Copies of this chain bind each other. A is one copy, B any other.
Amino acid sequence: MRVNKPKPDKAGWEVTGETEHYADDHLAVITEQVRAPSRSHPKAWTTVRRKSAVVIAAMTRDDKLLLVRQERIPIRAALWEVPAGQIDEAEPRLEQIEATALRELREETAHVLASDGELVALGDFFASPGFTDEQEYLFLARPVEPLRDQKIDPEEAIIDCRAFSIAEVQEMIARHEIRDANTLSICARLVARGLIQFVPR
């Protein structure tokens, strides 16, 4: 897939130029001349374009959340995070986004959505919207069940996977042990929507 996809026109936004500095299969660095709706003149802005991704809150039948411990090369650290992964399609339809969420759940946690389970769409968020167009689609999958004879994909940089109670997740966020945007953002959405509860301290 070409990451440097053209941006659709949006009302009030006008693009008058674009220069590509770098591009590979995963990202592209672009300087654009863009006139924002509130402005009379275009402004030069450098953006890193990247594929969209899915982020999954996988809840077990006893209301625990699956977290994976993942070695992250850019920051030289292993973090406890919710499972997530990139969407291959440039302009994905909802079915493709959902299929990616279920695939990443299986590959990263060796769990699947139960036959009586539901996949609840929780909207989206942008990881760093002044810097990149990276967009994450959020899902709650409940309940999930372990797959027999399935192991976590060894190609993934995942060194552990465990189920944590919501109280444990709250404590890990409060202690600054959970510190990635995916996990923090999906927890904010889940709590705001009343799908999980953090207890007053």
Contact = CB atoms under 8 A, between A and B. Distances in A.
B189 A194 contact: no
B131 A74 contact: yes
Interface string A17-47: 0000110101101001010111100010111
A76 interface: yes
Contacts of A73: 32, 34, 36, 43, 45, 47, 130
B125 A179 contact: yes
A181 B182 CA distance: 8
A146 interface: no
Contacts of A38: 71, 157, 159
Nearest to A32: B73
Oligomeric state, in copies: 2
A161 interface: no
Interface string A182-201: 00110111011110011011
Interface stretch (A93-101, A103-111, A169-177): A169-177
B173 A192 contact: yes
Contact of A74 (B21, B123, B129, B181): B129
A185 B183 CA distance: 8
Given A128-B132, A132-B128, A37 B181 contact: no
A72 B180 contact: no
B174 A184 contact: no
A185 B192 contact: no
A126 B29 contact: no
13 contacts: A13-B76, A22-B22, A27-B131, A37-B78, A50-B131, A74-B132, A123-B176, A123-B179, A128-B181, A171-B192, A173-B188, A174-B193, A188-B188
